């Protein structure tokens, strides 16, 4: 997810992703190698990714590369298919609306269905590293819970509010073959693609042949 200019109490059910953020992100990034970003039209972005079944050194290296790639692109979230890898894993380094930084990763994420009473929509602008230089308002719930596994295969749950909730929903969408522009009206999608065509990415991208 591209960067742009909680009312839930802490619960032992959720991982703590707000501690030692700088140290953890730096360690991942320095071990990793930055890769170019795939953009809309690349087939890997438009289909559901494969489940992660091997929680091994290769997965750990992929997560390191994703953090490195995310930093190069100045993003707040990155899904594996955005660097051309067909696996259900995303990483994030994202502030919530209260200015709290969250850093982590999720394998095989599943977005929890919210009860009607928790579905308060926020129609802020959204962007995507795979649709560079384009932004559009998109209504999403301002609270999200994602369940999945960590890089060792342990079950985890992540919760987010505000902008971080948007990030969790956005990255989970990626792994099931959806870009944020797929949720826009035809008119708004066309406008986002126009913005992309007229802009110049600030990071390396993979051209669609």
Provide the annotated active-site residues.
171
DSSP 176: T
How long a stretch of residues is the chain? 209
3-state secondary structure 111-135: ECCCCHHHCCEECCEEECCCCCCCE
DSSP 209: -
DSSP 202: S
Give the helix/strand (H/E) hosting 12.
Answer: none
Say if residues 142 and 121 touch (Cβ distance below 8 Å): yes
Distance CA 162, CA 87 (A): 27
DSSP 75: B
Exposed e or buried b per residue across 11-39, where buried means at least 16 C-beta atoms within 10 angstroms of its C-beta: eeebeebeeebeebbeebbeebebbbbbb
């Amino acid at each position: 997810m591209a960067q742009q200019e909680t009312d839930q109490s802490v619960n032992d059910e959720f991982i703590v992703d707000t501690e030692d953020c700088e140290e953890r992100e730096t360690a991942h990034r320095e071990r990793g190698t930055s890769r170019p970003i795939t953009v809309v039209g690349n087939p890997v972005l438009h289909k559901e990714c494969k489940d992660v079944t091997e929680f091994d050194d290769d997965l750990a290296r992929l997560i390191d590369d994703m953090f490195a790639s995310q930093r190069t692109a100045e993003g707040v979230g990155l899904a594996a298919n955005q660097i051309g890898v067909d696996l259900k894993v995303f990483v994030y380094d994202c502030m919530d609306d209260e200015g709290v930084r969250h850093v982590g990763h999720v394998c095989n994420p599943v977005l929890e269905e919210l009860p009607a009473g928790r579905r308060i929509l926020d129609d802020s602008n959204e962007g995507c590293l795979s649709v560079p230089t384009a932004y559009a308002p998109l209504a999403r719930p301002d609270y999200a819970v994602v369940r999945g596994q960590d890089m060792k295969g342990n079950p985890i749950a992540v919760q987010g509010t505000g902008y971080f909730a948007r990030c969790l929903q956005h990255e989970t969408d990626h792994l099931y073959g959806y870009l944020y522009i797929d949720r826009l009206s035809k008119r708004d999608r066309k406008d986002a693609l126009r913005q992309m065509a007229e802009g110049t990415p600030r990071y390396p991208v993979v051209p669609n042949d």
